[in-house]
């Protein structure tokens, strides 16, 4: 710890804010920005400092965010979108890209942005992409790293590729971590990437989602195996005991790397987390259980049975993002450990030592304390439902879905929630709480029990972006569409060219939180809320 940091900590100790001095070794966060209302980079930067967070991953090159991070010392991973990979197969283009988006921020200067990683694409080998990016990913990686090297920063800024856990698996004949191997359809390209990363001293980055394992095999996955507090029937692999899917997942990767001669290669977890709404298993209680099992392990550098010791991990995510596509599931907008406004959702000690709790964002300005509600005398159900569909097309109504925090409200409360979500998304502007004279503005907080009718952050500009068109799970509301997480307990045939049960792919076989499956781009759909007379609420897709 530097002399200046020590001094800063002493000052904070004096004023009773020791929490900010906790060093979160190896722990980073994914800072997504797909939201209708975002905290300013200045406010977020202070929040990162207050919580001792020293590493962030950004899904893009937002100049305002990067400029705010300049001189902070925070390690930054910036991500290149998948649709740029073809362009970056041209070295000249890759060189220009690095000059315009990396070197311009002076990553080697103490006053610059400490860019440590450039993520080339995001899970490009997903089965959902049908091999469309397989042959362009490695050349793009090479060109970006070579451009970084030519710019003189390749020793401190590394090009990497965040991969989904579906790139490795274990065969049905031997479904244990020690039998891990890379998927046959992509193994040639993956091995080239591994060799190149290893040569440049860059890590293998994998995104792991134990939450999604719960939906594999129609509920056959052992529920407790997604957490870290023990199971009745652990998996035993040549005397090694596995009590959670996280260990089994990473050790399958370790085995796959070892089989190719890279058994000691550094592994980084680029995304891992637990959502808090939008699904029966997405709630604060289970999220707290998950994080309060994961973080102490990381603090103790416990590692996994085959890879004990330190593991660098980036939590997904810092904030909820209410404008994201919900193709994978309604939970997709609720991954944050903080809410949309930077307020902690539940008690959590990022140091993993039970010494301090999350500190909220400071100086957050909200819109006036006004809510939009259905008029009590309104009874034209046909028009009401049309207006609810409209409201939920342009605002986030996922908390109303089955199993979510606001499921089970009365009919009027369901409608009021949808109307208020739209009213807030539109910055409470005149006319946004009318709905053909069905609604009225109130200064009384109409939140109910565990269902918060939120007031949005005040923005200096308007209008905000609208939520991404989304495809909601229709045939099976309890199972996220597009996910095929694979576990040691999978007795099925698998969903990809690898026929095995695959211990490894506990993560989703879909474009992870910041990506989009081609299926999502093929149909322009929006989310609607269908209300029954008993007040229950279901999300279904409809086209327009």
Measured distance CA(262)–CA(353) in Å, rounded: 33
Strand segments (E) across 212-329: 235-237, 240-242, 267-272, 312-315
- Cα 22 to Cα 47, 53, 290, 341, distances in angstroms: 13, 9, 21, 23
Range list of H helices, 426-538: 518-522
Contacts (Cβ under 8 Å, ≥6 apart) of 261: none
How many angstroms separate the Cα of 442 from the Cα of each of 409, 428, 436, 447, 501?
19, 12, 17, 12, 54
**Nearest-angstrom CA–CA distance, 72 and 68:** 8
- H or E element, residue 95: helix 91-101
| Distance of alpha carbon 48 from alpha carbon 41, whole angstroms | 10
CA–CA separation, 366 and 459 (whole Å): 8
**For residue 305, how many other CB atoms are within 10 A of its CB?**
18
Q: Which of 99, 260, 271, 321 is catalytic?
A: 271
Residue in the block written with tokens 């649709």:
83
Distance CA 280, CA 401 (A): 9
Is 312 assigned a catalytic role?
no
CB 147 within 8 A of CB 94: yes
Q: With left for phi above 0 and alpha for psi between -120 and 50, is residue 354 left, alpha or beta? A: left
484, two tokens: 């095929």
Runs of H (alpha helix) within 220-329: 245-259, 284-299
Query: Number of C-alpha atoms within 13 angstroms, CB side, residue 507?
Result: 31
Paired sense of beta strands 168-169 and 162-164, if any: unpaired
Q: Which of 25, 75, 99, 123 is catalytic?
A: 123
Q: Is cis: bond before 317, omega within 30 of 0? A: yes
On whether the CB atoms of residues 343 and 43 are closer than 8 A, the answer is no
Distances (CA, A) of 419 to 369, 374, 385, 445: 15, 7, 11, 14
The position carrying tokens 């209302």 is 37
Query: Is 271 a known active-site residue?
Result: yes
Distance, in Å, from the CA atom of 485 to the CA atom of 487, rounded to the nearest integer, reads 7
Active site residues: 123, 271
């Amino acid at each position: 710890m530097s002399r200046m940091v020590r001094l800063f900590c002493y000052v904070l100790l004096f004023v009773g804010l020791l929490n900010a001095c906790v060093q979160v070794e190896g722990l980073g966060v994914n800072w997504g920005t797909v939201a209708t209302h975002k905290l300013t980079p200045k406010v977020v930067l202070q929040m990162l400092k207050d919580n001792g967070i020293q590493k962030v991953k950004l899904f893009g090159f937002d100049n305002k965010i990067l400029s705010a991070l300049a001189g902070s010392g925070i390690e930054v991973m910036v991500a290149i979108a998948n649709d740029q990979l073809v362009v970056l197969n041209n070295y000249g283009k890759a060189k220009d890209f690095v000059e315009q988006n990396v070197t311009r921020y002076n990553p080697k200067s103490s006053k610059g942005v400490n860019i440590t990683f450039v993520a080339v694409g995001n899970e490009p080998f997903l089965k959902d992409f049908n091999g469309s990016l397989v042959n362009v990913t490695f050349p793009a990686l090479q060109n970006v790293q070579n451009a970084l090297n030519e710019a003189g920063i390749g020793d401190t800024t590394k090009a990497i590729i965040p991969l989904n856990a579906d790139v490795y698996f274990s065969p049905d004949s031997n479904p244990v971590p020690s039998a891990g191997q890379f998927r046959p359809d992509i193994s040639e390209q993956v091995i080239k990437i591994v060799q190149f990363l290893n040569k440049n001293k860059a890590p293998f980055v994998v995104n792991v989602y134990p939450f999604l394992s719960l939906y594999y095999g129609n509920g056959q996955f052992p529920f407790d195996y997604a957490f870290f507090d023990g199971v009745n029937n652990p998996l035993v692999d040549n005397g090694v005991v596995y009590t959670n899917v996280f260990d089994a997942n990473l050790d399958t990767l370790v085995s796959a790397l070892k089989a190719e001669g890279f058994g000691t290669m550094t592994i980084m977890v680029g995304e891992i987390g637990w959502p808090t709404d939008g699904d029966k298993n997405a709630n604060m209680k289970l999220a707290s259980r998950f994080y309060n099992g994961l973080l102490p392990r990381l603090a103790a550098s416990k590692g996994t049975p085959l890879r004990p010791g330190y593991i660098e991990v980036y939590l997904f995510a810092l904030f909820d993002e209410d404008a994201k596509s919900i193709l994978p599931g309604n939970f997709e907008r609720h991954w944050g450990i903080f809410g949309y406004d930077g307020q902690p959702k539940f008690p959590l000690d990022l140091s993993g030592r039970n010494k301090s709790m999350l500190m909220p964002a400071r100086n957050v300005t909200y819109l006036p304390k006004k809510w939009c509600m259905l008029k009590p005398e309104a009874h034209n159900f046909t028009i009401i439902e049309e207006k609810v569909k409209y409201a939920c097309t342009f605002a986030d109504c996922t908390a109303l879905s089955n199993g979510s925090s606001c499921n089970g409200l009365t009919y009027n409360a369901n409608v009021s929630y949808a109307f208020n979500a739209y009213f807030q998304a539109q910055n409470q502007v005149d006319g946004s709480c009318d709905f053909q004279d069905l609604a009225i503005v109130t200064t009384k907080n109409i939140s109910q029990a565990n269902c918060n009718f939120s007031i949005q952050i005040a923005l200096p500009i308007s209008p905000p972006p609208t939520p991404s068109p989304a495809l909601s799970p229709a045939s099976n509301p309890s199972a996220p569409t597009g996910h095929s997480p694979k576990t040691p307990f999978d007795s099925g045939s698998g969903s990809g060219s690898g026929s095995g049960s695959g211990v490894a792919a506990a993560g989703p076989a879909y474009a992870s939180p910041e990506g989009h499956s081609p299926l999502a781009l093929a149909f322009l759909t929006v989310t609607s809320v269908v209300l029954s007379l008993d007040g229950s609420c279901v999300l279904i897709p409809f086209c327009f």
